[in-house]
Amino acid sequence: MGRYICKHLVVMKIIEINPCMLSTIAGGVADCQFWHRNEGIKILLCRCFKAISKHSLLFIEEWVLNSYRGMGPSVGTMTAGWNEKGPGLSYVDS
């Protein structure tokens, strides 16, 4: 996993969603750390006991970022994944 080291924190810039999906984060360090803690995707994976689809992941990312619209977050995510329909790449920006 990729790491970005700042003054007092280690912030993960590459997040493994599941064995077939990775997500990268760009933006302000505080905003990225906030996104990482509040993504909820890994919790959802544990509850459902199955891998989340690319479409579901996109829906969750868009919903969370839209709920913070106008509050000044600086977050952009790019997700690459593979499922039975083939490869996929998506980008969501605040």
Angle, alpha carbons 36-51-82 (nearest 5°) = 90
92 and 67 in contact (C-beta within 8 Å)?
no
CA 13 to chain centre: 9
Q: Where do the domains of the chain lie?
A: 3-93
pTM equals 0.60
pLDDT of residue 38: 63
Q: Does domain 3-93 have CATH number 3.60.20.10?
A: yes
Alpha-carbon gap, residue 29 to 20, rounded angstroms: 26
Could you report the per-residue pLDDT of 3-45, keeping only the tens digit for each? 555 555 666 677 777 777 787 877 775 566 666 666 665 555 5
